[in-house]
Amino acid sequence: MSFFGNKRLIIVLVGLVLLITIVGFTSRERSKLSWPEMFLKDTFSVVQGFFYRPAQAVSGFFQGIGDAYDVYEENRVLKAGMDQYARMTAELHDLQAENERLRSALQAKDNLVKSYDLRFAEVVARNPDTWNNTITIDKGLKHGIKKDMAVMTAKGLIGRVQSVANFSSTVELLTSYERRNHISAYIQVKLQAAKGTTSYQTVSGVIEEYDPQERLLIMRKIPWGQKIEAKQQVVSSGLGGVIPRNLPIGYIVRVEPDDYGLTQTAYIQPSADFSQLNEVMVVERSFTFTPTGELVPNQQTQTPPAPPAAGGGQ
């Protein structure tokens, strides 16, 4: 038994010596490979090429799918970013427009606050079927709004309060086809004095209609012989007892004689933009008419305090 065990050990040692010898011989730098090495290299290269190309094709296919999915995800994220950018840009533009409107309204309030009390309101409804007739605002009786109060924007008069609820009001516009209330107005005519000084003369008239084709207000009953020219400003006269005085209405576009040649008719470009009504101001004049027809300041129309109870004083 020991002989066969030693024999195996001898064979292993001899194999290790041969292996080390071969490794040492093949590891040194040579100009040519041996034919077994060339045969093995060629064989492995053919086998590797046979399996490498399909594997590379499959790997490239799945890599392409992965790249396409990554591109899809990136494109989706970019589209979402673009949608968000467009939405934010729209909101920014809307805020800028609102800021400009509020600045104009504040400036108009500063100019009018000495003569009138102004109440800001927002337009909350405008029916497309009655687009030129009425709007609804978010202020009512609880906010001090009353029937027939004038309503304007920062640029000019737009109408009057037609009806009032507790928390909202309906405003009849100057462009209404159904408007029956005429507005007394003045045309501010510029006069040139001899010494070069400038003065103004007011010429009265009544705004009665609106021309939807030309989008112009029609002012009638202008005295014949008054020299009315284009671009002269038209303001409210305050003589009607409803609309306060000196609220801007518009500018003269042209003047024509009436059908009978006794008065003149003027066509007026409104100062306010009736297509963009967002924030408005309700104007309360400083005086009003009592039920007896007397013109008194507003505070005098309030209900007087009740007299003291009997026994409470002299």
Helix, strand, coil tally for the chain in percent (to 5) = 35, 30, 35
Q: What's the average model confidence in pLDDT over 285-301? A: 53
Digit-coded pLDDT (tens) for 128-148:
888 899 999 999 999 989 998
Beta pairing partners, 170? 136, 163
2-47 pLDDT, tens digit each = 555 577 788 888 888 877 777 666 665 556 666 666 666 667 676 6
Over residues 65-69, the mean pLDDT reads 78
Structure tokens at 69: 């999915």
At residue 62, does pLDDT exceed 90? no
| Residue whose entry in the numeric block shows the structure tokens 């006794």 | 262
> In whole numbers, what is the pLDDT of the chain averaged over residues?
77
CA gap 205, 240 in Å, rounded: 11
Q: How far apart are CA 120 and CA 46, in angstroms?
A: 89
Q: What is the mean pLDDT of residues 272-282?
A: 90
Contact 175, 198 (CB under 8 A): no
Q: Which pLDDT band holds residue 314 (cuts at 50, 70, 90)?
A: very low
Contacts of 243 (CB under 8 A, 6+ apart): 150, 157, 160, 183, 184, 236
Per-residue pLDDT at 216 exceeds 70: yes
CA distance 46 to 303: 112
Which residue type is seen at 203?
Answer: V
- What single DSSP character describes residue 48? H
Q: Is the pLDDT score of 193 beyond 70?
A: no
Mean pLDDT of all residues in 250-269: 91
The pLDDT value given to residue 43: 74
Q: Which residues contact 152 (CB under 8 A, 6 or more apart)?
A: 108, 158, 247, 248, 272, 280, 281, 283
Indicate the DSSP class of residue 174.
T
pLDDT digits (tens, 9 = 90+) for 86-130: 666 666 666 666 677 666 666 665 555 456 778 889 999 998 888
What was the pLDDT predicted at 311? 40
Position 74 scores a pLDDT of 80
Collapse the DSSP code of 167 into the 3-class scheme (helix H, G, I; strand E, B; otherwise coil) and give the result: coil
Closest CA to 236 of 169, 296, 152: 152
